Amino acid sequence: MTQLQALSKEELQSRLEELTKQYEDYQGENLNLNMSRGKPAPEQLDLSMEMLDLFDQHSTLHAENGIDLRNYGGLDGIPEAKQFFAQMLAVDTKEVIIGGNSSLTLMHDTISRAMFHGVAGGARPWKDEAKIKFLAPSPGYDRHFAICEHFGIELIVVEMQEDGPNMDEVEALVREDELIKGIWCVPKYSNPSGAIYSDEVVERLTNMETKADDFRIFWDDAYTVHHLSDEKIEVKNVLETAKAFGNSDRPYVFASTSKVTFPGSGVAAFAASEENIADAKKHMSVQTIGYDKINQLRHVRFFTDVISLEAHMEKHAAIIKPKFDLVYNTFREQLGNKGIASWSEPKGGYFISLDTPAGTATDIVQMAKEAGVTLTGAGATFPYGKDPEDKNIRIAPTFPTLKELEKALDVLCTCIELKSVEKLLS
Amino acid sequence: MTQLQALSKEELQSRLEELTKQYEDYQGENLNLNMSRGKPAPEQLDLSMEMLDLFDQHSTLHAENGIDLRNYGGLDGIPEAKQFFAQMLAVDTKEVIIGGNSSLTLMHDTISRAMFHGVAGGARPWKDEAKIKFLAPSPGYDRHFAICEHFGIELIVVEMQEDGPNMDEVEALVREDELIKGIWCVPKYSNPSGAIYSDEVVERLTNMETKADDFRIFWDDAYTVHHLSDEKIEVKNVLETAKAFGNSDRPYVFASTSKVTFPGSGVAAFAASEENIADAKKHMSVQTIGYDKINQLRHVRFFTDVISLEAHMEKHAAIIKPKFDLVYNTFREQLGNKGIASWSEPKGGYFISLDTPAGTATDIVQMAKEAGVTLTGAGATFPYGKDPEDKNIRIAPTFPTLKELEKALDVLCTCIELKSVEKLLS
């Protein structure tokens, strides 16, 4: 197939008719397919079912420090869980707090505390500043943006590149504006592009001069063990690097087992400098007596160490990699060389970032929906739901079966080409 | 034994010597006993161990609405859990949100949201008012007060009586001051006195005129099923009563299974008007995708209904009632008729409120500590940790064994009498 732009008006008209017919056929099929969220497939959840065999009424539920896990206490987590996450995130056990079931909650609560009480070493609560701002490398994760929007934090879009945010932009902004207090980062297999932060980006982020002396990097290491290729990518250790530059309090690191064991019944963790940890614990002690310690032990018994975790993640990859491959193959086959789409082919994580011609994404997502295929809302990958070029669509291929995914992709490709042809004809 | 006040100086001096000798003997025993927090005893936790047998790798973990509990979703809880808590709290399922493992967290987060965003129907966020205030019926629960202190909410002490707060005081305060936005209530088996709110108090609280039109009752129904006598006390339904008076948005109700199954691994719930529920969900959706649904199902499978819950709570009572009885018997025997102590004898809950002569509580708690018996800090039952009369001590008898408790009470009674004699001699 040639680039659509090379086609004559008549050829385009004829292609439009074919595509419209095809689209109407899909509509007739009454499809109900969903590629909107990064949800593991049921087969992935089956991988962790043996975790439910670990405890029964005869189990002794004591931590290695002797505390009865069934009772109150353990504000910052059981020692075993701290060791596990410290190993996973390559930090010291003193730099870790074990949370509840959700790293999103830890991020929300961290911002909530910063707004109301300020951060460790900060001069004042962020709410007492003039309207504060965060940098939002985009396309990015809608739930990050939603937290900021919820607290009235202004989001400034910076360009997301293959190796992280455009650091020239970032440095220029934070150097001048003391109201810029933070940046959102998904350093490995970024949502949605799969970008991997380079060593240089990690160094510049942790070393750059910031006008705000209480600037924080929100380092959402959501996909740190979620590899899709044999190459198990390592991103430079942000906490260590920040320490080396004398900015140890700058990074807040978040992770969880949501896409490792059971989303909703996993364990989340927060890693940061000891000063940040002490500050967080001071506030947390007002909010809770402790998170679910039995579930913490269940997880560390299931994964004895990071080696067994890696083996487990390979099983996840075996289930979802064929889905990613199906997306790439379908896109290449149906959209390749037509000059109407480009997409990322990430080495891990949960998403593919797809760009269609400017001004078409909203219409394409709507058309797909009307044919029974639900995608992440167009614009969701940008702050305030507004993609300035209206071209980015996030593809979440993990949840549907391969068969469902194949159909959903056929519908999507038809919608993309149809809209592109319409655009060329208009 | 006669009232100490009736003794001559010589008799007091001689009694002081006896008590001092006894205290020194206790010090020589190197005791390490703890009556500081309302923790269930290990035998109580054993009652719920069969909950861990309910699921294994072959279990089907779907809710009755078909959703896969292992995956993301279920922001406000699974239908079965809503039914269970709705039945327990005598509200409609539409008036319930199921939370994580802690009702304290639900209370904290509710106040945090009110501070930052205001409450449903409120004119503005509470943080944008002049310094707001809460009423704190005292003695009361230190963790309630701590939340307010954390958010800079001023606490106004009101007198706690046997049937709830002194309503004349409460009504007079809230009628005049629009900055009073809330009141803390533990309506049944109150912490620490065991007070039970009368119908009249519930009616006056829900019907009273408040200058603030966004006034809220924080109704911590922590001990709603935690009876210690055969008489299973019912407190008038606060949500229903508020509705009848046209103030349906006034109560926020909190409860959990922390002292029913496993503290830290239980399930918490929030009940309120549908408008309040909708408001809470709007904010929660930014904080979490959903709480632990597997643990919710584990609980509703363990307790099929409120009847089986009641049977379970009777087993708890059988374990802890002898401990409460030991406290009463020891106090009667060692402190009775001496004119130096009075205490509550609650029909449920986790605490006994003990009053010693004015100005002695801090010293008594310190003396007990120096003899190896840790009590709740003196003053903890009042806002800012300051008991104006320095006389209230909270007794938490559930965690120690009967043998440990017996020794701890002997030490405590010695300290009380010793300090009282010293006071009379000074």
For the stretch A155-196, pLDDT in tens is 999 999 999 999 999 999 999 999 999 999 999 999 999 999
> What pLDDT sits at residue B259?
98
Phi and psi, residue B160, nearest 5°: -95, 130
Are the Cβ atoms of A71 and B295 closer than 8 angstroms? no
Task: Name residue B138's beta-bridge partners.
Answer: B159
Query: Which of B36, B260, B265, B302 to substitute to test the interface with A, most A CBs within 10 Å?
Result: B265
From CA A69, how far away is CA B337, in angstroms rounded? 43
| Nearest CB neighbour to B287, from listed A56, A59, A108 | A108
Q: Which residues of chain B are within 8 Å of residue A291 when distances are taken between CB atoms? A: 100-101, 264
- Going by C-alpha positions, the residue among B99, B130, B106, B128 that lies closest to residue B115 is B128
Supply A147's token pair.
């937290």
Round the average pLDDT of chain B to a whole number and report it. Answer: 97
Nearest C-alpha in B relative to A62: B42
B49, B70, B116 member nearest A151 (Cβ): B116
Q: Is the pLDDT confidence value at B306 over 90?
A: no
- pLDDT band for position A305 (cuts 50, 70, 90): confident
**CB distance B264–A68 less than 8 Å?**
no
pLDDT digit string (tens) for B184-233? 999 999 999 999 999 999 999 999 999 999 999 999 999 999 999 999 99
CA geometry: angle at A395 spanning A394 and A397, to 5°?
155
Q: Which residues of A touch B116 (CB under 8 A)?
A: 112, 115-116, 127, 151
C-alpha distance from A170 to closest chain B C-alpha (Å): 26
Q: Considering only the beta carbons, identify the residue of A45, A104, A294 that sits closest to B289.
A: A104
Which residues in A lie closer than 8 A to residue B147 (C-beta atoms)? 286
What's the whole-number average pLDDT of chain A?
A: 97
Best residue in A101, A132, A149, A350 for a mutation probing chain B (most B CBs within 10 Å)? A101
CB contacts, 8 Å: B37 with chain A: 72
Is B265 within 8 Å of A294 when comparing Cβ atoms?
yes
Q: Please count the other Cβ atoms lying within 10 Å of the Cβ belonging to residue B207.
A: 15
Question: What would the pLDDT profile of A97-146 be if each residue is shown by its tens digit?
Answer: 999 999 999 999 999 999 999 999 999 999 999 999 999 999 999 999 99
Instruction: Please judge whether B295 and A292 are an interchain contact, meaning their C-beta atoms are less than 8 angstroms apart.
Output: yes
Nearest-neighbour CA in chain A from B327: distance (Å): 23
**A72 → chain B, closest CA residue:** B263
Search chain A and give the residue with CA nearest B74: A264
Of the candidates A39, A70, A262, the beta carbon closest to that of B265 is on A70
pLDDT at B305: 84
pLDDT at A304 over 90: no
Q: What percent of chain A has pLDDT over 70?
A: 100
When pLDDT is averaged across residues B266-281 and rounded to a whole number, the result is: 98
Chain B residues touching A73 at Cβ < 8 A: 264
- Report whether A147 contacts A107 (CB < 8 A): yes
- Which of B42, B68, B105 minimises the CB distance to A42? B68
- Closest CA of chain B from A382, distance in Å: 16
Q: Please tell me which of the candidates B72, B115, B286 has its beta carbon nearest to residue A150.
A: B286
Burial class of residue B339, CB neighbours in 10 A (0-12, 13-18, 19+): middle
Return d(Cα A270, Cα A323) in angstroms, integer. 31
Question: Is the ipTM here above 0.90?
Answer: yes
- Mean predicted confidence (pLDDT) in B89-100: 98
Average of per-residue pLDDT across B241-262: 98
CB spacing of A102 vs B289 below 8 angstroms: yes
Q: Residue B1 pLDDT more than 70? A: no
Choose the mutation target among B32, B34, B61, B105 for the interface with A, i.e. most A CBs under 10 Å. B105
- Smallest CA–CA separation between B7 and chain A, in Å? 45
| Planar angle of CA A95, A99, A102, nearest 5 degrees | 125
Q: What number is the average pLDDT over the span B154-172?
A: 98
- The nearest CA of chain B is from the CA of A16 a distance in Å of 39
The Cα-based distances of A50 to A265, A301, A381, B257 in angstroms read 14, 11, 36, 26
Instruction: Judge contact between A263 and B72, C-beta under 8 A.
Output: yes
CA distances from B9 to B17, B23, B302, B414, B421 (A): 12, 21, 62, 19, 10
What is the structure's pLDDT at A1? 52
Report CB contact under 8 Å: B112, A115. no
- In three state form, how does the secondary structure of chain A look? CCCHHHCCHHHHHHHHHHHHHHHHHHHHCCCCEEECCCCCCHHHHHCCHHHHHCCCCCCCCECCCCCECCCCCCCCCCHHHHHHHHHHHCCCHHHEEECCCCHHHHHHHHHHHHHHHCCCCCCCCHHHCCCCEEEEEECCCHHHHHHHHHCCCEEEEEEEECCEECHHHHHHHHHHCCCEEEEEECCCCCCCCCCCCCHHHHHHHHHCCCCCCCCEEEEECCCCCCECCCCCCCCCCHHHHHHHCCCCCCEEEEEECCCCCCCCCCCEEEECCHHHHHHHHHHHHHHCCCCCHHHHHHHHHHCCCHHHHHHHHHHHHHHHHHHHHHHHHHHHHHHCCCCCCEECCCCECCCEEEECCCCCHHHHHHHHHHCCEEECCCCCCCHHHCCCCCCEEEECCCCCCHHHHHHHHHHHHHHHHHHHHHHHHC
Task: Tell me what pLDDT residue A397 has.
Answer: 97
**Average pLDDT of span B156-169:** 98
User: For chain A, which domains are there?
Assistant: 4-44+310-425 (3.90.1150.10), 62-304 (3.40.640.10)
Using a CB-CB cut-off of 8 Å, the residues of chain A touching B286 are: 108, 143, 146-147, 150
- The distance of B97 to chain A (nearest Cα, Å) reads 16
The residue behind tokens 């009848």 is B244
**What confidence tier does A327 reach under pLDDT thresholds 50, 70, 90?**
very high
CA distance A109 to chain B (A): 8
Backbone angles phi, psi at B185, to 5 degrees: -135, 135
A259-B257-B66-B283 Cα dihedral, nearest 10 degrees: -70
Q: Which residues of A touch B72 (CB under 8 A)?
A: 37, 39, 258, 263-264
B39–A71 CB contact, under 8 Å? yes
Interchain contact, B286 vs A100, CB within 8 Å = no
Contacts of A68 in chain B (CB under 8 A): 42, 45
Q: Which of A50, A56, A127 sits opposite B53 (nearest CB)?
A: A56
Q: Which residues of B122-132 are buried (b: 16+ CB within 10 A; e: fewer)?
A: beebbbebeeb
- Where b means 16+ CB within 10 Å and e means fewer, A102-141 reads bbbbbbbbbbbbbbbbbbbebeebbbebeebbbbbbbbbb
Q: Long-range contact list for B202-206, CB < 8 A, 24+ apart?
A: B202/B164, B202/B235, B202/B236, B202/B237, B202/B238, B202/B241, B203/B236, B203/B241, B203/B245, B204/B167, B204/B170, B204/B171, B205/B164, B205/B167, B205/B170, B205/B238, B206/B238, B206/B241, B206/B242, B206/B244, B206/B245, B206/B247, B206/B250, B206/B251
From the number of C-beta atoms within 10 Å of its C-beta (0-12, 13-18, 19+), residue A85 rates as buried
User: Does the beta-carbon distance from A52 to B53 stay under 8 Å?
Assistant: no
β-pairing verdict for A216-220 and A268-271: unpaired
Chain B: give the shortest CA distance to residue A399, in Å.
10
State the nearest Cα–Cα gap between A295 and chain B, in angstroms. Answer: 8
State the CB neighbour count (10 A cutoff) for residue A362. Answer: 16
Going by pLDDT thresholds of 50, 70 and 90, the confidence category of residue A367 is: very high
- Closest partner residue to B292 (CB to CB) among A45, A50, A265 is A265
In chain A, the residue whose alpha carbon lies closest to the alpha carbon of B262 is A70
- What span, in angstroms and rounded, lies between the C-alpha atoms of A238 and A91? 10
What is the distance, to the nearest Å, from the Cα of residue B330 to the centroid of all Cα atoms in its chain?
A: 24
pLDDT band at B64 (very low <50, low <70, confident <90, very high): confident
Task: Check residue B336 and give its pLDDT.
Answer: 93
Rg (CA), chain B: 23
> How confident is the model at residue A128, as a pLDDT?
96
Angstrom distance (rounded) from CA B212 to CA A336: 64
The answer to whether the CB of B350 falls within 8 A of the CB of B317 is no
How buried is B311 (Cβ within 10 angstroms: 0-12 exposed, 13-18 middle, 19+ buried)?
exposed
Cα distance from N-terminal residue to C-terminal residue, chain B:
21
Q: Which amino acid is at A363?
A: D
**Cα torsion through A368, A371, A373, A377, rounded to 10:** 40
Q: Which residues of B touch A115 (CB under 8 A)?
A: 116
Alpha-carbon span B369 to B33, nearest angstrom = 9
Q: How far is B103 from chain A (nearest CA, A)?
A: 9
Helices B274-287/B103-117 angle, 10° precision: 90
Which residues in chain A touch residue B42, judged by CB atoms under 8 angstroms apart? 68, 70-71
pLDDT value at residue B46: 98
Higher pLDDT: B312 or A64? It is: B312
- Residue from the list A146, A262, A283 with its beta carbon closest to the beta carbon of B286: A146
How many cross-chain Cβ pairs, A to B, lie less than 8 Å apart? 152
Stated length of chain B? 426
Sign of CA dihedral B126, B130, B135, B136: positive
Residue A393 has phi, psi (to 5 degrees) of -130, 130
